[in-house]
Amino acid sequence: MRAMTVIPGKSDSARVGAVAEPPAADGSILVQGLLTGICGTDLELLAGALGRVQPGSDHLVIGHESLGQVLEAPAGSGFTAGDLVAGVVRRPDPVPCPACARGEWDFCRNGQYTERGINGMDGYGAERWRVDPYFAVPVPAVLGHLGVLVEPTSILAKAFEQVDRVGARSWFDPKHVLVTGAGPIGLLATLIAQQRGYDVHVLDRVTDGPKPELVRALGGTYLTDLQQLDVVPDVVIEATGVGQVVFDCANLLPPAGVICLAGIHPGPATVDVQLDALVRQLVVRNAALVGTVNAGKRHYADAVDMLLKADRAWLERLVTRTVPLSNWPAALVREPDDIKVVVDLRG
Ligand code: BGC
């Protein structure tokens, strides 16, 4: 069968590879791959910033944002042929560490976890894939192709949960949320902020194209410069990973404010900062900077609920380009106005 293959760290290695049928060891549910979303992590994989092949293999089947349709599922698995399904990305480490042993693989302590399509495990970018029922997320049929957004949305479901948990240190009733970066992660953060009833402001560099309009369609305020922000943000969802942006936001935080760092930037960039002054700011304001990565099982379920609540026409506009599997490396080349690019595994 055909699959999206790469050699981690080799920028020109993206191929339509011929690979073996998915091994039974990958799980008892056999799935017809429908769509795979491309994200910054996939580009970093090719650039060599992260990622590794499955032991014994010389290439990696990429693709961690998945949507498929069940071909075969054992009785009692909770799935039947025809169901839509998304696969969980991370697998617990084999030791397992105390977090993984409790099902919190997204908080793995020893770093020996694996991730489908990223770290040590073939991904979902193939005509067929297998998954264990425990790591299979049911996608309601009404979501259709938008089910490919379940995984990126799970990242934000976790991010907002982390903010709530940090906020619970004290009385916490956020009103103003700043989202930095209006890519797929930033826009999905904007959606969730709107669903939670927050006043949301979104910072990005671009002045035209679909992003400003997508923010305004949710009732949000679009900014191209932090100077334009006319409220004090109780919460920042940071999706650029740019040090200067993080530093500027940290200086804006009110008492008990929270910045949730949800993105990384290829960098490295050097920023001259008054670190002692920043430390003082954070301390005297009980402010928090919290990093978040990946997602646990409950976040995928939350993501499905969030997508079901969203305006379908708005979600449709996030998927700006669909590339057939036969030409999938084109999905890695950024085009103006790209938001979420997906690969059609049947094409
Ligand atoms: C994925 C996460 C993953 C991370 C780092 C992200 O793009 O959405 O699930 O943990 O990359 O590998």
What ligand 1 atom has the least distance to the C-alpha of 65? Answer: 8
154 Cα: distance to centroid of ligand 1 (angstroms): 10
Residue from 39, 115, 158 to probe ligand 1 pocket by mutation (most atoms less than 8 Å from CB): 115
Instruction: Write out residues with Cβ below 6 Å of ligand 1.
Output: 39, 41, 50, 64, 89-90, 115, 118, 155, 293-294
**Among all chains, which residue has been given the structure tokens 């209006």?**
182
276: left (phi > 0), else alpha (psi -120 to 50), else beta?
alpha
Work out which ligand 1 atom sits closest to the CA atom of 151. Answer: 8
Q: How far is the CA of 228 from the centre of ligand 1 (A)?
A: 32
Closest to 319 measured CA to CA, from 153, 170, 139, 202: 153
Average pLDDT over residues 218-234: 98
pLDDT at 299 over 80: yes
Two structure tokens written together for 163: 């903010």
249-253 mean pLDDT: 95
Q: For residues 126 and 21, what is the distance between their CA atoms, to the nearest angstrom?
A: 9
Count of beta carbons in the 10 Å neighbourhood of residue 276: 8
Atom of ligand 1 nearest to the CA of 42: 7
Mutate to test the pocket of ligand 1, among 104, 105, 124, 155 (most ligand atoms within 8 A of CB): 155
Could you tell me the distance, in angstroms and rounded to a whole number, from the CA of residue 170 to the centre of ligand 1?
A: 30
CA of 8 to the centre of ligand 1 (A): 15
Residue 326, pLDDT > 90, answer yes
Q: How far is CA 109 from the centre of its chain?
A: 20
- The answer to whether 211 and 204 are in contact (CB under 8 A) is yes
User: What pLDDT does 98 receive?
Assistant: 98
CATH 3.40.47.10 fits 154-291, yes or no: no
Q: Tens digits of per-residue pLDDT, 3-12?
A: 999 999 999 9
Note whether 2-139+311-344 and 154-291 share their fold.
no
pLDDT band with cut points at 50, 70 and 90 for residue 273:
confident
CA distance 297 to 305: 13
> Can you say whether the dihedral through the CA atoms of 60, 64, 69, 74 is positive or negative?
positive
Six token digits for residue 333: 């080349």
User: Residue 263 C-alpha to ligand 1 middle, in angstroms?
Assistant: 10
Q: Is the pLDDT of residue 322 over 80?
A: yes
Given a cut of 80, is residue 347 above it in pLDDT?
no
The pLDDT-based confidence of 269 (bands split at 50, 70, 90) is confident
Predicted pLDDT at 267? 79
Is the pLDDT confidence value at 268 over 90? no
pLDDT tens-digit map of 113-168: 999 999 999 999 999 999 999 999 999 999 999 999 999 999 999 999 999 999 99
Atom of ligand 1 nearest to the CA of 40: 7
Which residue is closest in CA terms to ligand 1's atom 4?
A: 294
pTM of the model: 0.97
Ligand 1 atom nearest residue 89's Cα: 9
Question: In DSSP terms, which residues pair with 87 in a beta bridge?
Answer: 136
Residue whose Cα lies nearest atom 1 of ligand 1: it is: 294
- The pLDDT of residue 306 is above 90: yes
Question: 36 near 150, Cβ under 8 Å?
Answer: no
SS (H, E, C) 44-110: HHHHCCCCECCCCCCCEECCCEEEEEEEECCCCCCCCCCCEEEECCEECCCCCCHHHHCCCHHHCCC
| Predicted confidence (pLDDT) per residue in 51-110, tens digit | 999 999 999 999 999 999 999 999 999 999 999 999 999 999 999 999 999 999 999 999
List the domain boundaries for the chain: 2-139+311-344, 154-291
Per-chain mean pLDDT for the chain: 97
DSSP track, 284-327: HTT-EEEE--S--HHHHHHHHHHHHHS-HHHHHTTEEEEEEGGG
Which long-range CB contacts under 8 A does 96-99 form with residues at least 24 apart? none
Tell me: the pLDDT tens digits for 165-184?
A: 999 999 999 999 999 999 99
Q: In angstroms, how far is CA 34 from the centroid of its own chain? A: 18
Q: Residue 210's pLDDT is what?
A: 97
Partners of 30 in beta bridges = 72, 130
Is the pLDDT at 231 greater than 80, yes or no? Answer: yes
Q: Which of 101, 88, 100, 93 is nearest to 131 (CA)?
A: 88
- Ligand 1, residue 295: give the atom nearest the CA: 9
CATH annotation of 2-139+311-344:
3.90.180.10
